[in-house]
Structure 1
Amino acid sequence: MKNHSVSPVALASSLWQHRNLIRDLARRDAIGRYKGSFLGIIWSLITPLFMLAIYTFVFSHIFKARWGATGSDSKTEFAIILFAGLIVFNLFSECISRAPGIILGNVNFVKKVVFPLEILPCVNLLSALFHASISIAVLLVFEFLIKGAVPVSIWMIPIVLMPLFLLILGASWWLAATGVFLRDIGQTVGILMTGLMFVSPIFFPSSALPENWKILAQLNPLALPIEQARQVMVWGTAIDWTQWALYTGVASVIAWAGFAWFQKTRKGFADVL
């Protein structure tokens, strides 16, 4: 039986070697989910805009929410801030929610000895990133129409999100492998994503949390990416590079650990499936 290396070098080599396959599968996945629908890929615009409208109406009109203690009463500003947070959360949620079923939904690939199963979480991430990019474009257009300009710091968004990509991949490799042997994990992840949405700084800034609850923000894997993405996409301010570096270090370890678990357990996929 082929021995699958768990080293970071082997991981980087495999992803680079199969980069064209990853791109093609991601394109097929991103476009394929709308195949046969009347509006097609336009749904990738309609869905986030609809959710944005609902959340903005509920929190700004019904609950009269403002951003922070001295927040503006502007409904459009609240919508921009809210949308920026939702983009990051939806990217994370889409990848993690689909991760437990990645191998289960591609049994035909498992039977092919030469197919690089480790690229499937990357395909999932790229597909989700496609939809996130559309949402970011919508946000920038909305910002330009409302404010007359977009933050110069927007170019930093790939840097801000890079550590989150590592975290997503690590968690996806672990969930994809574990989901083969423990089928209930898919339902568990769905519940956790719902809870995570309401404890993440999407509808409120982390500074609004009481002192004894701020530990939640420090433990929440989405808190820093959401707030830093909001800094470069909305506020136009620099990010905290120390926090970014620490997050990147932890995310890198998680990515490697998830990949190692995937490689160690993949030899049993065919037996279970």
Structure 2
Amino acid sequence: MSESQQAITAIRLAGPLDALLRHGSLTWELARRDILGRYRGASFGLLWSLISPFLMLVIYTLAFGYILKSRWPGTSGNMADFAMLLFVGLIVHGFFAECLTRAPTLITGNTNLVKRIVFPLQVLPWTMVFSALFHAFTNTIVFVVLNLVVRGELHATVLLLPFVYVPLAIGLLGVGWLLSSLSVFLRDITQITGVLATAMLFLSSAIVPVETLPPKYQFVFMLNPLTFIINEARDVAFWGRQPDWIGLAIYTAGATIFAFIGYVVFQKTRRGFADVL
């Protein structure tokens, strides 16, 4: 086998990891620009990445904690416990929702890059996920500080949160490749993702304690791929427990398969991007 054939084979085997193995510096630079560009021109700049989650928490706590009088089973029933448990769910959902709603426009919103034959379009979902991960971790910092201030607790297991986020990040890469490619040909997907993101919030354990629901409805909530990640994030960040390592391994395997499927669809359809756009 010639060196060129070996190189091609290596690229194919790398698959979704191609963005990091061959275009790592480009991927990181695009992610950095994406993060900084979001706050360019704002008076508080990157501080909004810390202010926004705090404001979001206040709104949801007022709505569900004070107005609807929601409480979480297994806690003392005070508002601080409810707010912190709610916040963890909102962080995970925010990570998911940012990727889901941005994925359909990754290609259609970068037509100038599509026209460049040499540009590796497959890196765009990576930059999207890295940007969303940045916001998830800034939200986590806000959670850690607030939890320490209002509840006086800080569990060492919070350091395990990256292991909980990674399986979801892998699945969201698949979402990025799949939706970004399909949206070139089916523009209606952009209109659906916003509604789907909201549905995924209210049909997960982010706001509603699943164990308090009637058994016939619990199944629907447990089918939501966010519910498991939210529960694991709460275990390590709020309850101070070890995560379900076997469950995370199974979730990672399923997310990896989905990511490869999304990547294959992306590579099969990318030849028609320039013609449609």
With the shorter chain as reference, the TM-score category is over 0.9
| Structure 2 match to 1:248 | 252
Q: TM-score with structure 2 length normalisation?
A: 0.93
| Structure 2 match to 1:97 | 101
Q: TM-score with structure 1 length normalisation?
A: 0.94
| Structure 2 match to 1:87 | 91
| Structure 1 match to 2:182 | 178
Greater RCO between the two (CA within 8 Å, min separation 6)?
1
Q: Match for 1:47: what amino acid?
A: S
| Kept in 2: contact 1:174–1:258 (CA 8 A) | yes
Q: Give the CA deviation at 1:212.
A: 1.2
Q: Give the CA deviation at 1:249.
A: 1.3
| Structure 2 match to 1:162 | 166
- 1:53 corresponds to which of 47, 53, 58: 58
Change (3 A) 1:136 1:103: same
Q: Match for 1:62: what amino acid?
A: I
Which aligned pairs between 1:138-217 and structure 2 lie closer than 5 A? 138-217=142-221
Change (3 A) 1:208 1:8: farther
1:36-66 deviation line (CA, Å, top 9, x unaligned): 1222222222221111101101111111110
Matched residue SS, 1:159: helix
Identity %: 43
Q: Match for 1:34: what amino acid?
A: Y
Q: Distance in 2 between matches of 1:222 and 1:94?
A: 14
Q: Could you tell me which runs of 5 or more consecutive residues in structure 1 were left unpaired when the two chains were aligned.
A: none
Q: Match for 1:87: what amino acid?
A: I
| Structure 2 match to 1:67 | 72
Q: Give the CA deviation at 1:71.
A: 3.7
Q: Give the CA deviation at 1:8.
A: 5.0
Q: Could you tell me which runs of 5 or more consecutive residues in structure 2 were left unpaired when the two chains were aligned.
A: 1-7
| Structure 2 match to 1:33 | 38
Q: How many pairs align?
A: 270
Matched residue SS, 1:103: helix
Q: Match for 2:194: what amino acid?
A: G
Task: Out of 209-218 and 99-108, give the one that drifted further.
Answer: 209-218
Q: Distance in 1 between matches of 2:139 and 2:29?
A: 22
Q: Match for 2:189: what amino acid?
A: I
| Kept in 1: contact 2:75–2:81 (CA 8 A) | no
1:2-56 deviation line (CA, Å, top 9, x unaligned): x999955233234222111111111111111111122222222222111110110
